[in-house]
Structure 1
Amino acid sequence: MRVLVIEDDDNLRVAITTSLRSAGFAVDAAADLPAADEALSVNAYDCAVFDRMLPSGDALHYVRHRRAALSVPVLFLTARDAVADRIAGLEYGDDYLVKPFAVDELVARTRSLCRRVNAGRPPVLRCGDLEIDSGRHEVRRAGVLITLTAKEFTVLEHLVARQGAPATRTELIGQAWDRMADPASNVLDVLIAQLRRKLRQPPMIHTVRGVGYRILPA
């Protein structure tokens, strides 16, 4: 799941970004609305977390004016806790969290909004004897629980959701890494090798030359 965080306070932006990455999200960060606008125009996100009051303007007004073009769920962070502010935030956004907040709550709310994007996806994905329970964040093959890192889980889940169709390298990197990742690097190849080892024989993940990878029942 990929998230965009817009926060002008450097320390808070780093703290939020670090916490979300530790929870398994791929995170891009921006300090103002122009940078957010650029990121949203070129990347696909599962959720956007906006600090409401930014030096470049009120993020609520930004979202309100672009709501028709924004397909991403929006979570507002703000110190403004008046009822009118909460109502406005929920009217133009999808969730509203008042500062100061618990990081665990932010992670839980972000995960909940990301799930809305994939609401049509079944809670348990299957490919042959492989089973992925997205809600419990568990993977089993032939009934045996497999321990995966957050990035490994994200890539495997995306491959299985494609139902045998190939996923490009850029697509997979965009799902599990932030925009600083280089599609030409070997980070994805290393992760795929780790997944193949953990999934054991017979192999399920196959290379599609010139494209990326696909997963098929063994």
Structure 2
Amino acid sequence: MSTAPQNEPRTSPTPSGAVALPSVGARGRARSGTTTDVALVATFAAFIAVCALLPSIPVAGIPVPITLQTFGVLLAGVVLGPRRGAAAVGLYLAVGLAGMPVFAQATGGLAVVAKPSFGYLIAFPLAAALAGYVASLARRVRPALRPFVLFGAAMSGSLVFIHPIGIAVMGWRLDLDPGAAIALGATFVPGDVIKNMLVAVVAAAIFRAFPDMLRVRR
């Protein structure tokens, strides 16, 4: 008497007599999720570039202009989550360092490494990752309170990474003592508070329109 091999996958006949194929739903969902992640990362990298290229505001005595760059960076982190947000910022930096004029004042290339503003650039991926991580807490509060959590997330990225690293490198490049460097860097704080309030408002609207963006954090 013959027996069927034990490791063959089992199939069951359909009502019409045809053999049902193994499900590929999970594989298809994973592929779709990866495609969506890549599209979001690329979209936000382009958005950061647009924010950087909008007209900047020069500040007397400071070689670092006021731009909407940080708005784009922190919005990417808050909306996309820590890993995707940092990836979007990393892609933006890679494109700029490769020579594309996507940094503030339409600059790009490795020459920006020698500028006093370079510390702000290298802080951006860290700030986006932290903002994305803290923004995940917004899932635990009522929708009415989410903008406050999102504002705190954006401010955490600014105060923990962008300002300390940016001020340190700026002071080093300009040969300033710590007190003078901090005083110069503090000039940007009021503007960042306003930009981070805007981040919170825009991110809250995005999460209302696309709830999965807040539920699924990567």
TM range (shorter): under 0.3
> Higher Cα Rg: structure 1 or 2?
2
TM-score, structure 2 normalization: 0.26
TM-score, structure 1 normalization: 0.26
Whose RCO is larger (CA < 8 A, sep 6+)? 2
Of Structure 1 and Structure 2, the greater strand share is in 1
